[in-house]
C-alpha cells in the first residue's frame, strides 16, 4: 500500500497536480456565468473531474513526449521520467485512466438529455488539442497559443456541460484563458532561452529574443483584460465583476514588473504565485457578483 501511494505521489509531483488551480476556477466561472446562478453539486462534481482528467492526461503526455528533451535540459533533467523514478509504461497507464475519467465526466454532463451529450461529441477536439500541444514547440513559436487553447477549452466545456450549447460568451471566456495562459507561458519559457536556441525549440523567446518575448506576453495580457471586459458587457455583469477585472489588471501589471530581459530571478513568483492568485480571485469576484445579483432579484 505504501509503495502504491508513493507511485501516485510521484506521478502527482511529475504533473504538478497543484497547478490545476490555474484553470479550474475558469471552468467554474464558465458554469456559473452560463447559469447566472449556482450549478448543482452534481454538475460541479463532474466539471471538476473532467478538468482533473483532461489536465492530468495532458501533463502526463507532455512529460512523455518531452522526456528526451527534458533529459538534455539542466533545468528539467531531474524530472521523474528522465531520472527513471517513473517508467514510460506506468505513465501511459495514468494517461489512459485520465482520458477515461474525462469521457465518463463528459457523459454525465448532459442537460438536454441527448442520446450522446454535446460534451462527448466535442471531446475529440479537446483530446486532439491536449495531445498535440507538446509537438508544436518543435515547429512553431505559436506553441504558447496552443497551450493556452488547451486550457481555454475548460470554461467552454463547463458552459456546454450545464447548458448543452456553445454560446458567444463561452467562446470569449475561452479566449480569455488562451491569451492569459499564452502570456504567462512566454514568461516561463524565458528561463530556457539559451537551451531552446541551442536545441532548435520554437519558443517565442528563442525565436524573437527575450525583450520581444516580454512585449508579446504583455500584449496578450492586455488582450486578456479586453476580452474580460467584452464578456462582462455581453453578460451585463455588475460591480463585483468589474472590480475583479481591475484587480486582475493590477496583478498582471505587477507580474510583468517582476521580470525583465536582464533579470529573471523573480520568474517563479511571477509565474506561480501571481497567476494562481489571479484565477482564484477572478472566480471569487464573479461568484460574488452572481450572489449579489440574485439577492437583488429576490
DSSP 143-208: HHHHHHHHHHHHHHHHHHHHHSS--HHHHHHHHHHHHHHHHHHHHHHGGGHHHHHHHT---HHHHH
Give the C-alpha separation, 70 to 84, whole Å.
12
User: Which triple of cell numbers denotes residue 68?
Assistant: 528526451
Predicted local confidence at residue 109, as pLDDT: 95
For residue 260, what are the β-bridge partners? 263
Residue 19 has pLDDT above 80, yes or no: no
**Which of 58, 28, 59 is closest to 281 using CA atoms?**
28
**First vs last C-alpha separation in the chain:** 52
Region class of 209: left (phi > 0), else alpha (psi between -120 and 50), else beta: left
Paired with 263 in beta bridges are 260
In CATH terms, 2-297 corresponds, of 1.10.600.10, 3.40.50.1110, 3.40.50.1100, 1.10.357.140, to: 1.10.357.140
Which is more confidently placed, 3 or 176? Answer: 176
CA angle 209/210/215 to nearest 5° reads 100
Is the pLDDT at 10 greater than 90? The verdict is: no
**Residue 23 banded pLDDT, cuts 50, 70, 90:** confident
- Say if residue 1's pLDDT is above 70: no
In this predicted model, what pLDDT tens digit does every residue of 58-112 receive, in sequence order?
A: 999 999 999 999 999 999 999 989 998 989 999 999 999 999 999 999 999 999 9
Are 95 and 64 spatial neighbours (Cβ–Cβ below 8 Å)?
Answer: yes
pLDDT tens digits along 222-268: 999 999 999 999 999 999 999 999 999 999 999 999 999 998 888 87
| High-pLDDT (> 70) share of the chain, % | 94
Distance CA 9, CA 4 (A): 9
Amino acid at each position: 500500500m505504501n509503495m502504491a501511494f508513493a507511485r501516485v505521489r510521484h506521478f502527482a509531483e511529475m504533473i504538478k497536480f497543484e497547478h490545476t488551480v490555474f484553470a479550474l476556477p475558469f471552468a467554474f466561472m464558465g458554469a456559473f456565468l452560463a447559469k447566472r446562478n449556482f450549478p448543482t453539486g452534481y454538475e460541479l462534481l463532474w466539471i471538476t473531474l473532467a478538468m482533473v482528467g483532461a489536465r492530468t492526461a495532458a501533463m502526463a503526455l507532455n512529460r512523455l513526449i518531452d522526456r528526451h528533451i527534458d533529459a538534455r535540459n539542466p533545468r528539467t533533467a531531474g524530472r521523474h521520467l528522465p531520472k527513471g523514478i517513473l517508467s514510460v509504461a506506468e505513465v501511459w497507464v495514468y494517461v489512459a485512466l485520465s482520458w477515461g475519467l474525462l469521457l465518463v465526466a463528459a457523459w454525465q454532463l448532459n442537460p438536454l438529455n441527448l442520446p450522446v451529450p454535446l460534451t462527448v461529441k466535442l471531446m475529440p477536439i479537446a483530446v486532439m488539442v491536449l495531445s498535440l500541444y507538446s509537438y508544436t514547440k518543435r515547429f512553431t513559436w505559436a506553441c504558447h497559443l496552443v497551450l493556452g487553447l488547451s486550457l481555454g477549452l475548460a470554461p467552454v466545456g463547463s458552459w456546454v456541460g450545464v447548458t448543452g450549447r456553445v454560446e458567444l460568451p463561452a467562446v470569449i471566456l475561452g479566449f480569455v484563458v488562451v491569451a492569459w495562459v499564452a502570456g504567462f507561458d512566454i514568461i516561463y519559457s524565458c528561463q530556457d532561452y539559451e537551451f531552446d536556441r541551442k536545441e532548435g525549440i520554437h519558443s517565442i523567446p528563442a525565436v524573437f529574443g527575450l525583450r520581444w518575448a516580454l512585449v508579446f506576453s504583455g500584449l496578450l495580457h492586455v488582450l486578456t483584460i479586453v476580452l474580460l471586459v467584452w464578456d462582462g458587457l455581453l453578460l451585463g455583469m455588475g460591480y463585483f465583476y468589474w472590480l475583479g477585472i481591475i484587480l486582475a489588471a493590477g496583478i498582471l501589471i505587477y507580474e510583468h514588473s517582476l521580470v525583465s530581459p536582464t533579470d529573471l530571478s523573480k520568474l517563479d513568483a511571477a509565474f506561480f504565485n501571481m497567476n494562481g492568485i489571479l484565477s482564484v480571485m477572478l472566480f471569487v469576484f464573479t461568484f460574488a457578483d452572481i450572489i449579489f445579483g440574485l439577492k437583488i432579484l429576490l
